[in-house]
Chain A
């Protein structure tokens, strides 16, 4: 399936709220933060998400997920000492799901302009309050046809272990490909090129791809 086709399909399902998971609450050129509509319902680490600006879709990889109290001054306290199951905590305190929030951080890895897909940063940051969608299988496949975005990811100075994110992203993307093993080998070779001077790092990363 071509990229353009994927995009058409995307536009058709634009209103499909099934994929809509979050909203941008912080944006910069290289990354953005999105808040999930539902507590603990964030996309998985390393997954490909997208949002929209006036030029087209902007793609990113989820690199960090955190759940915290909405009020900065109010810390979350433990409540389940007397309870048998975890779920009972929320049943007994229904207000909690309104007081807590799950955010995730996304590294921007590419964007579309018109029909064309670019594996580098868009000219403008993602719009604030932009809706964030998880990507469909076809879209993931179309985006990961080229692995040029890997160098962006590998060389990003993230507050979390970068290699974990890279490995998670590739494992996740490989499921979208019919021959996932061949995809991983191709990606591994791309990584070998990027990390040619650090065989140790490459090896430990490759081990995480399985």
Chain B
């Protein structure tokens, strides 16, 4: 094992200078080409007493004599080129040491620790071996879910799912960089490891039954892979029917369930003025919290006039408000009184450990999304909170941790809205009440800094806007180094993971998703196998 291990590691160079905060500088050996070094790759540094693990964060070219820059040597001559490589001109790496492993027995038992020092001068730097990576990230087991492989390696990088769901997490990346695929994988991970149940607000109806790749191939959604563990709820049963998706429940929301805060949250989306948003509270006082919306929408011209003169609301304010509220009428999922309580239904499923995916169908605009996601989450959260408090009192067993997945998160969590939406609270209060968020967003700079700083694990695909990158990396050690890694990710299938659920930041090539083999690996059973398994289950049931 040992000898095989050392074969895998090729020597890259030696540590020549550096510091803990900026990272150490490594002079590359002549035999190693700078072009083979890529940012984000792992290296192991053999210090005197510790082994260090680090990530390459920068690659640079150096010359010993500054005059060589002005009068470059004749490298068309292969001999001269060969001589000067690695001697007067050489490559340099910047490596951020992240973990140490003691070389003695105690160190090996303790496992990896965050690096608090740097290796000595001229310590040898080697590329990390498969074994090293496994040692750091752990092998796939009942807690760890395989999400991808490090750059140019076959080893699996695994996320500790129970740790992951203890805090709110974020998936970021420009449009088309694979956020949806990553999220799908994370949801499967949570489902497989049974660490949490998910409630997904699926704006574009792509998680539940079927999604599409950018090239137009269809990929299976969660329900197809795990039919018994996933329920699809819909706001738009016609759209679901057209897409031949069998749904478990059609969500209807009563006007009586909409509160003034919900309207205030929609202020920008419905194009309401500040004054109109305030007028909503007045109206609610007038008609009562449960009846105000329907009452206002049903007012005729005369009644309206009387009302605004009585409440002293300006005419233009009222018109603005009315126009905005009229917009809600096009949402066919809003009914005057919902016959079945959607929140109760969702909770029932979640209690049974079944993941709920709510499809929005044709209502894939922000108004509907914000309204429904906020309204449902608020009430589900209240139930969880109640439950958690009872649990503290010893009355009930603890519920499954719940992870709420929201897309376009900056709409809910921008500095203005985050104080008002339930999501802002969930993100801040973290795991106290067993509810956490999985926020998916392409514009993280729009999210409130306070919320960003509370996210436990961040998984980010390529971002190229400076502000977005800054915002994602806020409060992360080695920020400027990770920045160069982040902005150099490939547009597809690559992501940087850092935070609570991984011992050190890691760039991964995301695990394959969408091929028959990948489904099988994830535990998907073909129809015939499924039948066999069911028969066996029944047999087991009777024999026991």
A residues contacting B by CB (< 8 A) are 181, 184-185, 188-189, 191-193, 196-200, 202-203, 206-207, 209-210
With A192-B88, A203-B73, A203-B74 in contact, do A185 and B83 touch (Cβ < 8 Å)? yes
CB-based contact A184/B79 at 8 Å = yes
CB-based contact B88/A210 at 8 Å = no
- Which residues of B, 177-198, contact A by the 8 Å Cβ criterion? none
Identify the closest chain B residue to A203 (Cβ): B73
Interface class of chain A by DSSP: helix
With A181-B79, A196-B87, A203-B80 in contact, do A189 and B65 touch (Cβ < 8 Å)? no
What per-residue 1/0 map shows which CB atoms of B51-68 lie under 8 Å from chain A? Answer: 000000000000111011
Provide the residues of chain A in CB contact with B65, threshold 8 Å: 196-199
CB-based contact B79/A209 at 8 Å = yes
**Which among B63, B71, B87 is the interface contact of A189 at CB below 8 angstroms?**
B87
Tell me which of B74, B86, B88 has the highest count of chain A C-beta atoms within 10 A of its own C-beta: B88
Cα distance A181–B82 when bound, in Å?
A: 11
Tell me which of A196, A199, A206 has the highest count of chain B C-beta atoms within 10 A of its own C-beta: A199
Interchain Cβ contacts under 8 Å between A and B, 18 examples: A185-B79, A188-B80, A188-B82, A188-B87, A189-B83, A189-B87, A192-B88, A193-B87, A196-B65, A197-B65, A199-B63, A199-B64, A200-B67, A202-B73, A203-B73, A203-B74, A203-B80, A206-B79
Say yes or no: is B30 at the interface (Cβ < 8 Å to chain A).
yes
**Which among A184, A202, A207 is the interface contact of B88 at CB below 8 angstroms?**
A202
Cα distance A189–B80 when bound, in Å?
A: 10
Provide the residues of chain B in CB contact with A184, threshold 8 Å: 79
Provide the residues of chain B in CB contact with A192, threshold 8 Å: 83-84, 87-88
CB-based contact B71/A197 at 8 Å = no
Extra inter-chain contacts (14) besides given A199-B63, A210-B77, CB under 8 Å: A181-B79, A185-B79, A189-B30, A192-B84, A192-B87, A196-B64, A197-B65, A198-B65, A199-B65, A199-B68, A206-B73, A206-B80, A206-B83, A210-B79
**Which among A181, A193, A200, A209 is the interface contact of B71 at CB below 8 angstroms?**
A200
Provide the residues of chain A in CB contact with B64, threshold 8 Å: 196-197, 199
CB-based contact A188/B83 at 8 Å = yes
**Which among A185, A191, A202 is the interface contact of B82 at CB below 8 angstroms?**
A185
Provide the residues of chain A in CB contact with B63, threshold 8 Å: 199
Provide the residues of chain B in CB contact with A199, threshold 8 Å: 63-65, 67-68, 71, 73, 88
Cα distance A199–B68 when bound, in Å?
A: 6
Shortest C-beta distance, A188 to chain B (Å), equals: 3
Identify the closest chain B residue to A201 (Cβ): B65
Provide the residues of chain A in CB contact with B71, threshold 8 Å: 199-200
Cα distance A154–B84 when bound, in Å?
A: 18
B residues contacting A by CB (< 8 A) are 30, 63-65, 67-68, 71, 73-74, 77, 79-80, 82-84, 86-88
Identify the closest chain B residue to A206 (Cβ): B80
Cα distance A18–B64 when bound, in Å?
A: 47
Shortest C-beta distance, A157 to chain B (Å), equals: 22
Identify the closest chain B residue to A185 (Cβ): B82
Identify the closest chain A residue to B67 (Cβ): A199
Provide the residues of chain B in CB contact with A188, threshold 8 Å: 79-80, 82-84, 87
Cα distance A192–B30 when bound, in Å?
A: 12
Cα distance A108–B73 when bound, in Å?
A: 32
Provide the residues of chain A in CB contact with B83, threshold 8 Å: 185, 188-189, 191-192, 206
Shortest C-beta distance, B184 to chain A (Å), equals: 52
Cα distance A200–B77 when bound, in Å?
A: 15
Shortest C-beta distance, A94 to chain B (Å), equals: 48
Provide the residues of chain B in CB contact with A202, threshold 8 Å: 73, 84, 88
With A199-B73, A200-B67 in contact, do A207 and B80 touch (Cβ < 8 Å)? yes
What 10 A-B pairs are tightest by C-beta distance, nearest first?
A188-B83, A192-B87, A199-B65, A199-B68, A196-B64, A192-B88, A203-B73, A189-B87, A206-B80, A185-B82
Cα distance A90–B84 when bound, in Å?
A: 49
Provide the residues of chain A in CB contact with B79, threshold 8 Å: 181, 184-185, 188, 206, 209-210
Cα distance A185–B79 when bound, in Å?
A: 7
Tell me which of A184, A202, A207, A209 has the highest count of chain B C-beta atoms within 10 A of its own C-beta: A202
Cα distance A97–B5 when bound, in Å?
A: 71
Cα distance A185–B84 when bound, in Å?
A: 9
Identify the closest chain A residue to B70 (Cβ): A199
Cα distance A206–B88 when bound, in Å?
A: 13
Shortest C-beta distance, A203 to chain B (Å), equals: 5
Identify the closest chain B residue to A195 (Cβ): B88
Identify the closest chain B residue to A190 (Cβ): B87
CB-based contact B86/A189 at 8 Å = yes
Cα distance A75–B65 when bound, in Å?
A: 48
Provide the residues of chain B in CB contact with A200, threshold 8 Å: 67, 71
Provide the residues of chain A in CB contact with B73, threshold 8 Å: 199, 202-203, 206
Cα distance A193–B68 when bound, in Å?
A: 14
Provide the residues of chain A in CB contact with B82, threshold 8 Å: 185, 188
Provide the residues of chain A in CB contact with B86, threshold 8 Å: 189
Provide the residues of chain B in CB contact with A193, threshold 8 Å: 87
Cα distance A184–B81 when bound, in Å?
A: 12
